[in-house]
Amino acid sequence: MDARAINAQLRRGETPGENALRWFAEGLASGAVSDAQAGAFAMAVCLQGLSVEGRRALTLAMRDTGDVLEWDLDGPVLDKHSTGGVGDCVSLLLAPALAACGAYVPMISGRGLGHTGGTLDKLEAIPGVSIQVSEDRLRGMLQDVGCAIVGATAQIAPADKRLYAIRDVTATVESVDLITASILSKKLAASPDALVLDVKIGSGAFMKTADEARALAQSLCDTANAAGCKTSALITDMNQPLAPALGNALEVAEVMRVLTGDASGPLAEISAVLGGELLAHAGLAADTAAGAAKITATLTDGRAADRFARMIAALGGPADFTASWQDDLPGAEVTREVKAPSAGHVAAMNGEALGLAVVSLGGGRMVESDRIHPGVGISDIVRLGQHVGAGDTLARIHAASDDAADMAEAAFLAAVSIGEAPDTLPPLVHERIS
């Protein structure tokens, strides 16, 4: 087969057959497909799309380029994935909370993509943490801790690792077909018994409209359930940051505040809702409401914090991160308050613009080789509907220089509208897809 012929088919709006897609996936993994051919493939799929069957075939082909894990554990194996947003650090709460409820969570996560932060980048903001572990080490962590948030090894969906990086720098992130194949090739390689998908909608999400989010959620659910994994999806709001902070260390700090004293607010609430879905799927709760209550209990009584601290130590981080996190997390060289230019209510936020401002600060990557500054970002962000007076603090900028802080301050003020109070505030959960 020939990558040029496959790309030509895609350019014409035709879906290549299962064997052709499997060949291309294997070529991504082996290097037989060049970066230029991979970029052309991603762009053609983004513009022309695949058929439903083609999407399923590409997903399974990418999964099968590496190992498919098998487990022998005394509880269900559960997993969660978010399609990406700003201030979304739910995985860092949910994995240890599920483990405290009796589940095992081998969460193979990714890095920042486009304007969104990456779970692995957030973990690596913790000094000493290394997210690349061997399969034996992953199994050991599950036995000892119950959860492990790690990067995909070279043996897990290597085709996706290659294509994922190319999508980030070729403006092909938003494709439903490529998102489905990327997420599920890794998630299905971990062989979970149940999976919940957090599909974001709104200004800070890749999916801006209800139709786009619903299409992606249905695509993910259909593909995963067809592969034998019990899966549901929640369409959740991303018209404002989920946590009141953007940036790697700043988001870890928000996680620690929930784990060590304040299990309330949108971040804790959505973690409970997603966890409730999984516990109900796995038979660890009578229904989703009972499951959500169990998750909340682990966040308030310290059990989730204990699991998180043990996971961080197992990944090479501080021995007791729950006690030392305020001293351990890196900061930025410059901190500056953003003041409201006028009085009024926070009427709207451009979440994507806020995310890109953090990337420009050095909190994400413009190209694959960029190094991340873990301490930069934006914290103490106001909420939609909140009333502010002229001169009140809207947020705090954490930057590496005064010039970078100037840029971020201007970007923040351009992204946040102060005016009349919104007629209604968006719900945290818009819809459930099964």
pLDDT tens, residue by residue, 319-362? 999 999 999 999 999 999 999 999 999 999 999 999 999 999 99
Mean pLDDT (whole number) for 36-61 = 95
Q: Which CA distances in Å does 336 have to 63, 261, 383, 400?
A: 45, 26, 19, 11
Mind telling me the catalytic residues? 79-82, 119, 167, 182, 186-187
Residue 1 has a pLDDT of 86
Residue 114 has a pLDDT of 66
Give the pLDDT band of residue 367 (cuts 50, 70, 90): low
Count of positions (residues) in the chain: 434
Mean pLDDT (whole number) for 94-102 = 98
Mean pLDDT (whole number) for 3-28 = 97
**283 pLDDT above the threshold of 90:** yes
Out of 106-115, 179-188, 266-275, 364-373, give the one with best mean pLDDT: 266-275
Element (DSSP H or E) covering residue 106: strand 105-109
Give the pLDDT band of residue 3 (cuts 50, 70, 90): very high
Element (DSSP H or E) covering residue 78: strand 78-82
Are 66 and 191 in contact by the 8 Å Cβ rule? The answer is: no
Residue 432 has a pLDDT of 94
385 burial via Cβ count (<10 Å: 0-12, 13-18, 19+): middle
Least confident of 56-65, 104-113, 277-286: 104-113
Mean pLDDT (whole number) for 37-50 = 96
Are 214 and 84 in contact by the 8 Å Cβ rule? The answer is: no
* Coil/strand/helix, residue 143: helix
Mean pLDDT (whole number) for 396-409 = 97
Are 317 and 119 in contact by the 8 Å Cβ rule? The answer is: no
* pLDDT tens figures, 172-227: 987 889 989 998 998 999 999 999 999 999 988 878 888 989 999 999 999 998 88
Mean pLDDT (whole number) for 301-329 = 96
Give the pLDDT band of residue 154 (cuts 50, 70, 90): confident
Residue 332 has a pLDDT of 97
User: From CA 178, how far away is CA 156, in angstroms rounded?
Assistant: 17
Residue 364 has a pLDDT of 86
Residue 264 has a pLDDT of 85
Q: Where are the beta strands (DSSP E) in 322-428?
A: 334-339, 344-349, 377-379, 387-388, 393-399, 416-419
* pLDDT tens figures, 161-174: 899 889 978 989 87
Residue 368 has a pLDDT of 64
279 burial via Cβ count (<10 Å: 0-12, 13-18, 19+): buried
Average pLDDT across the chain, whole number:
93
Least confident of 5-14, 164-173, 242-251: 164-173
End-to-end CA distance of the chain: 37
Nearest 5°: CA angle at 268, between 262 and 269? Answer: 130
